[in-house]
Homo-oligomer: A and B are copies of this chain.
Amino acid sequence: MTLETSFIDSALRNWRSNVDRAGKLFGNLSQEQLLQEVAPGKNRVIYLWGHLTAFNDALIPLLGFGARIHPELDLMFVSNPDRTVPTILLGEDLKIIWQETSQILWTGFSKLSVADWLQKHGAVSEEDFLREPHRNRFTILLARTAHIAYHLGQAKLSERVQT
């Protein structure tokens, strides 16, 4: 392993660890548990899961791996607040999409070279990238890992001690 790939390896381990923790935590909750708020008046657990799933789906084009597979998630879990959209997906649906997007992303990550990781991501222009070369794929991976951890911490609060 070269120096550069060591850094990428660390970041991918951290990504995977957070994706796996989220998949397990959300995937093990019943639909009733998913409909609970993480704190009084705050988002329901299912909204957080859908939100993270939508963000992972949006990573596919952002990193140049292809088109989104579930753009419909945005209206339910990103552009509108929780409880304002009449119909949202069930936990069973999200479980499948979470696995699909995780797989597509992982396959995409595995194909990137060291230089690819430092290329600009899809939401930055050529001009901006010249001025701000840190707006690359690797930075996105790190930021999105922290984003998963952020909402994972919130979702964790909804776990009740089993008696």
Chain A contacts to B: CB under 8 angstroms: 1, 3-4, 6-11, 13-14, 17-18, 38-40, 42, 114-115, 117-118, 133-134, 136, 138-139, 142-143, 145-147, 149-154, 156-157
Contact = CB atoms under 8 A, between A and B. Distances in A.
A143 B145 CA distance: 10
A154 B133 CA distance: 32
A136 B146 CA distance: 19
Contacts of A40: 39-40
A122 to B, nearest CB: 17
Contacts of A14: 139, 142-143, 146
A62 to B, nearest CB: 15
Contacts of A1: 133
Given A150-B149, A153-B154, A7 B7 contact: yes
- Assembly of this chain: how many copies? 2
A118 B157 CA distance: 34
A115 B149 CA distance: 28
Query: Most chain-B Cβ atoms within 10 A of its Cβ — which of A8, A138, A149?
Result: A149
Contact of A118 (B6, B142, B150): B6
A10 B157 contact: no
A118 B3 contact: yes
A56 to B, nearest CB: 16
B8 A139 contact: no
A142 B39 contact: no
